[in-house]
Amino acid sequence: GKYRVVSTKSMPGTRWINLLIEQDCRLEICTEKKTILSVEDIIALIGDKCDGVIGQLTEDWGETLFAALSKAGGKAFSNMAVGYNNVDVNAANKYGVAVGNTPGVLTETTAELAASLSLAAARRIVEADGFMRAGLYDGWLPHLFVGNLLKGQTVGVIGAGRIGSAYARMMVEGFKMNLIYFDLYQSTRLEKFVTAYGQFLKANGEQPVTWKRASSMSEVLQEADVISLHPVLDKTTYHLINKESLATMKKEAILINCSRGPVVDEVALVEHLKQNPMFRVGLDVFEDEPYMKPGLGEMKNAIVVPHIASASKLEVTKYTFTRHQSNLELIKTLVSQISSLLQGKIKGYPVWHDPNRVDPFLN
Ligand code: GLV
Ligand code: GLV
């Protein structure tokens, strides 16, 4: 292979390795046992000669690493994530390294996890499961684990990009929820979808669903019963949910975060959960992963899972994979991306707030 490509983690399956070889790449997979590599670990992996790196969201791809990669002749970096807050794109540009992330392939899997957490929180599934396993169930009672009925309630989406739109569609269509969303860009397709679905319901004698594009985030927080966060993490979205904004939400609201931990002030959230026992959260991401802020793990009104939104199996028949493997489409994207970046067939992105983006449904 002409290009030396380093992957800082091993990925499921073997097909991707062959794909890289077919693309004239020599692959080296890091065998380090620790879960999270330091900058020093990665510099050692890059070594004297390295053309491209497939890296992870847990790694700090800043000035130091891009300088090291560039010094080793590196031209490309692919982040195995749609979120790229761990990548300093300006530093990459400065050192002539093209950067890629993986938008598109993680849309449905992330939206499905957000929907799962929404339902689990609404119906208190985790709490009820614990009750059952603890042997506390001694007979059916009308008031046992009364939760929220989603039908007719309002789902609020903050950041209606690919993932936020897919989640909105699931909640509106699946549970007949009304939609309120906030995004810098108008999501015309989403609006059209809700309108059409509302007409369908009406024609069948049911209460139609409605949509509203909020003019501010606070409007969503005040009006929605279930709120799911789908923005990128940057300076403008850091601690978007804080003590003040939490106070404006409904006492029995449900908050879901499958974006990035620091979008929520987790200390303020723990306090809010303590003060408002009927307020519930479903979290896939945390401010200081892998840690939780003190108290969060003890809250009955919190559901916490370890950043698993992209961890789903896909049956991808259109590719030549023969078995079910986790993240196949994601890995295939990474592999073709790093080789195309190296061969100059594509330019680096990421693009996230692309006004011309195509919503992941109704295509
Ligand atoms: C996962 O968190 C991702 O951004 O892909
Ligand atoms: C409850 O189990 C019911 O039948 O309503």
52 lines ligand 1 (CB under 6 A): no
Model pTM score: 0.89
Domains in the chain, CATH or no CATH each: 3-105+312-342 (3.40.50.720), 107-304 (3.40.50.720)
Q: Is 239 among the catalytic positions? A: no
ipTM over 0.85: no
Q: Which amino acid is at 149?
A: L
106 lines ligand 1 (CB under 6 A): yes
Per the residue annotation, which of 266, 272, 307, 329 is the catalytic one?
Answer: 307
Q: Is 280 among the catalytic positions? A: no
- Residue 343's pLDDT is 84
Q: Is 108 among the catalytic positions? A: no
How far does the centroid of ligand 1 lie from the alpha carbon of residue 82, in Å? 5
- Residue 314's pLDDT is 56
- Residue 257's pLDDT is 98
- Residue 225's pLDDT is 98
Per the residue annotation, which of 260, 272, 287, 329 is the catalytic one?
Answer: 260
Q: What is the mean pLDDT of each run of 10 residues along the chain (363 residues)?
A: 92 79 89 92 96 94 97 92 89 88 83 97 98 97 95 97 94 98 92 97 98 97 98 92 98 98 98 98 97 98 96 52 43 78 72 41 30
DSSP states of 129-189: HHHHHTT---S--TTTT-----TTSEEEEE--SHHHHHHHHHHHHHH--EEEEE-SS--HH
Which atom of ligand 1 has the smallest separation from the CA of 106?
5
Peptide bond into 290 cis (omega under 30): yes
310 lines ligand 1 (CB under 6 A): yes
